[in-house]
Chains A and B, each alone.
Chain A
Amino acid sequence: MRYQRLLLPVLLLVVWEIAAFAVNNPFIIPSLTTVVPILIHPFSSSYTLGTGSLVWNAAISIQRVGLGFLIATVVAIPLGILMGRFQALNDAFDSLIELLRPIPPLAWVPLALAWFKIGLTSIVFIIFIGAFFPILLNTIDGVKAVKKTWLEVAMTLGAGERQILLKVLLPGAAPTIWTGLRVGFGIAWMCVVAAEWLPGISQGLGYLILYAYNFGQTNLIIAGMVVIGLIGLAIDLVFKSVERKWFSWRDLER
């Protein structure tokens, strides 16, 4: 099983290297021998055209994504709980949300620049937009899917509105909210790369690969992409393992 999973990636590397040899143009397909040294020196700035080490740039990107994601979480979860619990609020917000939701996060870039100028705020805003809707919609769904009986049991046992929220509604909706966080983070991570292409940005993995393009350093582009992919994968694995550990009851419940 493990070997089968690795088969295709290894095959890709082999084909890549053969193609690099055949094409013989490092701008189109750089040899892996020029990519690997960058990846195995993640703390060194001497492979990245003086833009700081891979780890440094990754840390910057993670920090930006974390900030936008955190704000999205703090806004979306309470709003989602209220919308899931109170139909009137749901009706009030629903059409606006349905209208805004299909707009891709990147379509907000010009507006973000107009509002917040060039800088961290604009980037965080784009990430916020990307993460906000999946978290919100999953929270609403999760709260709505909480069984009526669970709430009524709590009521007959004397729980107040606050206790129902904390002891029944939140834990009951938690697995679905968590799915929303996971999806939201995935989208936020995609957004950060593009948001770092905004003018006036000079750090971050997104900036790094665009900068490398300007210098024709395709090997650095590839290295940057690999790091972006690995970080996204690692964070998704963390989300998944928490899901398995805490929220497995959702699938086991008959």
Chain B
Amino acid sequence: MKEVVNLPVKKIEEEEYHINMGPQHPSTHGVLRLVVSLQGEIVKSLKPHCGYIHRGIEKMCEKDTYPQIIHLTDRMDYLSAHINNHAVCLLVEKALDVDVPERVIYIRTIVDELNRIASHQLWWCSFGMDMGGLTCFFYGLRDREKILDIFEESFGSRLLHSYYTPGGLMMDIHPNFQKGVKNFIHYFRKKIKDYDDILTGNIIMQERTKGIGVLSREDAISYGVTGPSGRASGFSCDVRKRHPYALYDKVDFREILGTEGDTFTRYMMRMDEMRESMKIIEQLIDNIPAGDYSAKMKAVIKLPAGEYYQRVEAARGELGVYVVSDGSKTPYRMKFRSPNFSNLSVLDHISRGVKIADLVAIGGSLDYVIPDIDR
């Protein structure tokens, strides 16, 4: 009689295997590929592969003049386009010691905060959608539309505005701007309660986010995770407080800080930030001084030879612009320290050991904008 040979049979749960999430995956909100190493449905490790929309913006900047570069910065983090413009404008103005009119500084601060709210609204609707709640998507987009209407009326475009120029603004605000913004704040103060009712208080959402993807304060600093994601871990990294620019040292607002560092805290940071942004706008909107909308600038802007650095708080974290100038009208080297690039580097660290469905929630709470990673 033939002897039965017991071959070692491997269970599929024990075997580690790799799957590709992306480049076309709805949860990455762009073209990002995550090579995820799985055992069963537990994430063992992952490797992000970026570069699908690498356009070489830093190389392009070396051929462009400073007013031209403004238009490229819109296309990095397109959801905080105004704030990206602001970084380059401040850098040029500081380097040339330009006296920017008070009116410009007021308008810029208000528009930056409107931009931050619009960005967080889009994050909220896509985060809700990632978690399986499609209603959020409609609510968020409906309210974001109100801000885009204000933008369209004043600046002529909805997404990529290029509204700031070195020395001032492209044009003055529309006469309806102040009324429109005040109407929006009045409207959104009521509507943000719906956000809490529909998603924040939802027990399924809380179960899926609390204690998932915990990032400690030390790791947040070491990985350079800034913005709401860093502040959720207790890393006080708000550039508006640490190195104030525009009017942020004159207005009263709170830096939102968390302690837990999990997905739910990252979620709450952005919800509270929207309220703080509305507070900032309310303090400024009635006090915009009269005056010019731009300082007199030379036709050709040349930065004196040397190094310059400017940091601003974009919607997703700290944006740094580092310029080495050789005295000509184009920068010798321009480096953008983009918040999303550093925030992405922590994804592998915090998603080890979670289920693959939670990886989607973690990715949503870090709020990537892929063109900002790839540049």
Q: Do A and B bind each other?
A: no
Residues of B within 8 A of A (CB): none
Binding site for B on A (CB under 8 A): none
